[in-house]
């Protein structure tokens, strides 16, 4: 049963990563890439690697999202 859950999460992560390529909105692409990182951390947790899952969730999903959104905010503020 666990393998089916992991395969489903893996498939959703692959589809999300592919959707980032074709997105026109940069902010949406950043958010979806953060979702991909969060799904990767769930997969790490299912593979019994909690330390890697915590690192991926904190740095890959949270910190990267904050940095990219801050950079997008600064870029849009400079356009005005």
Which is nearest to 61 in space by CA: 29, 28, 39?
A: 39
Count of domains forming the chain: 1
Low-confidence ranges of the chain (pLDDT < 70): 80
Give the pLDDT score at 80: 63
Which residues form the domain of 32? 2-79
pLDDT given at position 30 = 92
- State the CB neighbour count (10 A cutoff) for residue 39: 20
Closest CA to 37 of 11, 15, 7, 64: 64
pLDDT at 1: 87
Cα–Cα nearest to 59, from 37, 36, 29, 44: 37
pLDDT at 11: 97
pLDDT for res 75: 86
């Amino acid at each position: 049963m666990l393998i089916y859950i992991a395969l489903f999460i893996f498939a959703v992560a692959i589809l999300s990563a592919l959707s980032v390529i074709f997105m026109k909105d940069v902010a949406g692409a950043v958010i979806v890439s953060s979702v991909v990182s969060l799904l990767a951390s769930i997969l790490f947790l299912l593979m019994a690697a909690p330390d890697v899952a915590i690192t991926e969730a904190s740095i890959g999903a949270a910190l990267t999202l904050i940095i990219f959104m801050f950079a997008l905010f600064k870029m849009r503020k400079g356009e005005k």
